[in-house]
Amino acid sequence: MNEQNIIHLDNLTEEEREQFTKVLGKASEEPSKESRVWKPKKIDQYYYINDFTDVCTDTWQEAGADYKRFKIGNVYKTREEVCFALERAKVKAELKRYALEHNDPEKEAWNNDNGHYMIAFNHRVNDLFITRGYYIEEESATCFTSAPIARDAIEAVGEERILKYIFGVEVEE
């Protein structure tokens, strides 16, 4: 059914015309899908990590610094989120540093002869373990050249910290 209605805008006040125009515009827009990525709006408060690894707060002013922080993923809605992100970055850096300090440089190349060992978590059985890969390099895994080096890294960095900040597993403190 295609029904047409004629609306006489001259019967409306200026304010009513403005409201009508807004409603008509909104009604004709596609429904928006809510993003899972939080981006502050002008004058929203947000948190970030500064150059000294301090947790800071700022007001979104649509300035260059705001957009640069957002671009690298350094804009957080809550203090809890930014503190978690800071600790996660520290744990990742400690694992990477441990690998750089202890790996055998001759075994670091990805080829058919050298396997790489990675710390993994099985969510089905709640188990932290070491896995070995030969051909598939994962985007965010820290690679070790032997299982003992990976086990020592877990001990040096802390199993609870790795569980909590890398794999998001709740641990009793």
Handedness of CA 27, 29, 31, 37 (dihedral sign): negative
What pLDDT score was predicted for residue 1?
Answer: 52
Q: What is the mean pLDDT of residues 117-134?
A: 93
User: Letter for the amino acid at 57?
Assistant: T
> Rounded distance, CA 70 to CA 61, Å?
12
* pLDDT (0 to 100) of residue 32: 63
pLDDT at residue 2, as a whole number: 59
Long-range Cβ contacts of 65-68 (<8 Å, 24+ apart): 66/40
Over residues 35-60, the mean pLDDT reads 96
* Residue % of the chain over a pLDDT of 70: 92
| Cβ contact 143:117 at 8 Å | yes
What is the reported pLDDT for 44? Answer: 97
For residue 42, is pLDDT > 90? yes
Cα 168 to Cα 24, 88, 122, 146, 153: the distances in Å are 45, 10, 12, 25, 18
Q: What percent of the chain has pLDDT over 90?
A: 66
pTM: 0.76
Going by C-alpha positions, the residue among 154, 118, 150 that lies closest to residue 134 is 118
When pLDDT is cut at 50, 70 and 90, the band that residue 29 belongs to is: low
Residue closest to 168 by CA, chosen among 123, 131, 138: 123
Q: Would you place residue 114 in the very low, low, confident or very high pLDDT band (cuts 50, 70, 90)?
A: confident
Which pair of structure tokens corresponds to residue 158?
């802390």
pLDDT at 138: 83
The residue with greater pLDDT, 67 or 36, is 67
Please tell me which residue, 6 or 76, carries the higher pLDDT value: 76
The pLDDT of residue 90 is 97
Q: Measure CA of the first residue to CA of the last residue in the chain; give whole Å.
A: 65
Looking at residue 120, its pLDDT comes to: 95
